[in-house]
Structure 1
């Protein structure tokens, strides 16, 4: 196996983030429409308190992105659109396709900092329109987000296989596909 370079992995993620960004823009447009239109009450209920807001954000935002990564990386392609464009695949130690549970674990760990960010932000008083100073526990949570992101990035640099911490835990690898 030829392990993917750090740069190829990062560019592949940026390409995938283009797709995610289009989806985010769509959600913002729909959200603004719900907030202004006759369905304003539904929008208000969806974001009535921190717990409901977080659950709504998870169902509308995180879950679809999670499923994008899980389903693409366990599919016969073994890759998201960005990875396919860069000639990368996600495999297990033998180079085989991931089964759904392993792909799910990998993606849950990958997106953990993103979800932790949401959990913390929704608990800042006044968020998102008039946020006030967060409590110390929220500040610790937001610092933990950056610690996790840093650990993910640093872990790609320390080994010859360029595994992230979530790859190491899930026992997965991102490999370069040989050109025919």
Structure 2
């Protein structure tokens, strides 16, 4: 592989625009750039989560997700590319089903928290939901890959179940939401 970035700064964005992979320039607050940025934030947060000791199955599940999120960012930066495929969504569903079958059914809402790793999973889940919302906004303006939206939706569910699993394996109790009483 050749050198992709010989210089980190280019000064081309100093006027508030950025270049897409197809050479198109768009404002930095364009819905496409907002979606790419939210996916990048999610990927960075997964990197932080992976820096913590995790059970092997969770670590092995999240490492490919980082690569796929990078693919998704690439897909969005080169419209009308379609890189995320139905099989990747189905793989997330299989992981989700496998992890969820070990957990007790939920009868109440739970508060995000527990162990540090579980808390990071919850934070990644909310970041994933933001990325999903940004992609929905973009899809209202431009054609996008429907599999990418499904992928983010399943990933947020997987991160929720991973948080529950991490708390279960570490013996951290789930804290059920209680409606606050008005005084």
Give TM-score scaled by structure 1 length: 0.29
**Higher fraction of helix:** 1
